[in-house]
């Protein structure tokens, strides 16, 4: 990968402390070049949201974020009228003798419009990065609504008329696969799957983000995490957990992993009591396998 633009994105990602892979760089590059939304799927805590942030800083533009949740509807995503302010304005204008039409024109102007993320993204002076986070948590109805916006890039407000996008935003959509997304949405996007990092990548991330960590400790932590992810767990720990754990252990000035210590600090890595119980029971075995891995690698 020698191309300058690709390189720029790769180094952009690196400078944000994001350790990347060729496929991630390529997808980000193509999404920006072709102006298509980028759909990123993968388990929680592998840095899906980070991509949008890096894209925004690479393009030197703003990041507008729409966090999805169950029950999210068009008003919360697009716009609302500032009803209270409109009412106040009418009261103040009562004596002014303006005609009804004039009054109406003022209260249904942009001053009284509360822009929500999607409208913000459309009316932004420079094409922003629009992050639609965890779209799988929203309802199917909202997804279809989103589809409409993503293809037309215009919003019709009955009182004001149609607002067309100044620039088409760069869109990043993330999903944790809580619910299967519609074919139509998938078809419109470029797709990127980010998995848990392999050992080398994870070690690079730990060494990069926890600067004063002992190298041996970092290696052992990463080996242990790789083993742990092989287990059948309810909530498989992500990179965030590795980093929390590494930071905690580095703070405590440990030089390498010990079994007791793992047992005592397991709560940093595992967030489900059954996982903790199950892991403590098979800890000896895990610890041994980590030892073997460390010797080989």
Partner 1 sequence: MQRVDDLITRKTSLPENIITLCRFLRSRGMPIGPQDEADALNALCVMPFDAPENLRLTLRAILVKSRPDMLRFDELYGVFWSELEKAQDAKIVQDESESAAQKEEGPPKPSLKSLQNWLYGNRTEETEEVAAYSPAEVLTKRDFSTFSEDELQEVMKIIAVIARSLANRYSRRYKKRNSGQLDIKRTIRSNLRRGGDILDLLHRKRKIHRFKLVVLCDVSKSMDLYSKFMIQFMYAFQASFRRMETFVFSTGLHRISDVLQTDGLREALNALERIPGWSGGTRIGESLQEFNETYGARFIDDRTIVLILSDGWETGDMQPLSSSMEYLQKKAARIIWLNPLAGNPEYQPTVQGMAAAMPYIDVYAPAHSVDSLRQLVHHLARSGKRRFS
Pick between residue 71 and residue 297 the one whose CB is nearest to partner 1: 71
Question: Is residue 2 a contact point for partner 1 (CB under 8 A)?
Answer: yes
Candidate segments 71-79, 123-131, 196-204, 221-229, binder of partner 1 by CB under 8 A: 71-79
Site pattern 191..230 for partner 1 (x: CB under 8 A): xxx-------------------------------------
Instruction: Please say which residue, 74 or 268, places its beta carbon nearer to partner 1.
Output: 74
Least Å distance, CB 44 to partner 1, is 12
**Of these, 8, 15, 69, 83, which contacts partner 1 (CB under 8 A)?**
83
The interface with partner 1 within residues 15-44 (CB under 8 A) comprises 22-23, 26-27, 30-31, 33-34, 36, 41
Q: Give residues 91-150 in contact with partner 1 (rule: CB under 8 A).
A: 139-141
CB of 261 to partner 1, least distance (A): 29
Please tell me the distance from the alpha carbon of residue 147 to that of residue 8, in angstroms, as a whole number: 31
Long-range contacts of 218-224 (CB under 8 A, 24+ apart): 218/246, 219/294, 219/297, 220/256, 220/257, 220/290, 220/294, 221/245, 221/246, 221/249, 221/257, 223/199, 223/290, 223/293, 223/294, 223/297, 224/257, 224/262, 224/286, 224/287, 224/290
Give the separation between CA 16 and CA 144, rounded to whole angstroms: 34
Q: Is 281 in the site for partner 1 (CB under 8 A)?
A: no
Residue 189 binds partner 1 (CB under 8 A): yes
Taking the complex as a whole, how short is the minimal distance between the CB of residue 142 and partner 1, in angstroms? 10
Q: Does 296 bind partner 1 (CB under 8 A)?
A: no
Q: Which of 11, 75, 109, 151 binds partner 1 (CB under 8 A)?
A: 75
Torsion-angle region of 177 (φ positive above 0: left; ψ -120 to 50: alpha; else: beta): left
Token pair listed for 129? 């990065």
Question: Which of 17, 67, 69, 70 is in the footprint of partner 1 by CB under 8 A?
Answer: 70
| 179 is a site residue for partner 1 (CB under 8 A) | yes
Q: Which of 60, 95, 183, 260 binds partner 1 (CB under 8 A)?
A: 183
Dist. CA 25–CA 241, nearest whole Å: 24
Chain residues in the site for partner 1 (CB under 8 A)? 1-3, 5-6, 22-23, 26-27, 30-31, 33-34, 36, 41, 70-71, 73-75, 83-84, 87, 139-141, 177-183, 186-187, 189-193, 274
């Amino acid at each position: 990968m020698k191309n300058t633009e690709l390189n720029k994105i790769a180094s952009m990602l690196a400078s944000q402390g994001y350790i990347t892979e060729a496929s991630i760089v390529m997808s980000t590059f193509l999404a920006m070049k072709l102006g298509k939304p980028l759909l990123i799927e993968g388990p929680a805590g592998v840095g899906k949201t980070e991509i949008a942030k890096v894209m925004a800083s690479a393009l030197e533009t703003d990041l507008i974020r729409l966090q999805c949740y169950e029950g999210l509807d068009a008003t919360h995503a697009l716009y609302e009228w500032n009803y209270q302010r409109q009412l106040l304005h009418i009261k103040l204008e009562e004596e002014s003798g303006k005609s009804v039409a004039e009054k109406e024109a003022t209260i249904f102007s942009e001053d009284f419009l509360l822009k929500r993320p999607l409208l913000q993204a459309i009316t932004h002076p420079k094409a922003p990065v629009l992050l639609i986070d965890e779209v799988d948590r929203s309802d199917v109805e909202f997804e279809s609504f989103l589809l409409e916006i993503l293809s037309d890039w215009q919003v019709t407000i009955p009182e004001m008329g149609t607002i067309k996008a100044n620039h088409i935003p760069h869109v990043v959509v993330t999903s944790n696969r809580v619910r299967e997304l519609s074919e139509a949405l998938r078809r419109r996007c470029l797709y990127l799957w980010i998995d848990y990092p392999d050992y080398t990548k994870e070690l690079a991330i730990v060494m990069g983000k926890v600067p004063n960590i002992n190298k041996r400790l970092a290696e052992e932590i990463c080996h242990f995490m790789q083993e742990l992810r092989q287990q059948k767990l309810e909530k498989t720990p992500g990179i965030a957990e590795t980093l929390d754990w590494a930071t905690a252990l580095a703070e405590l000035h440990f030089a390498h992993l010990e079994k007791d210590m793992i047992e005592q600090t397991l709560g940093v890595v595992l967030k489900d009591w059954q996982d903790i119980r199950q892991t403590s029971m098979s800890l000896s075995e895990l610890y041994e396998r980590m030892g073997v891995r460390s010797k080989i690698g």
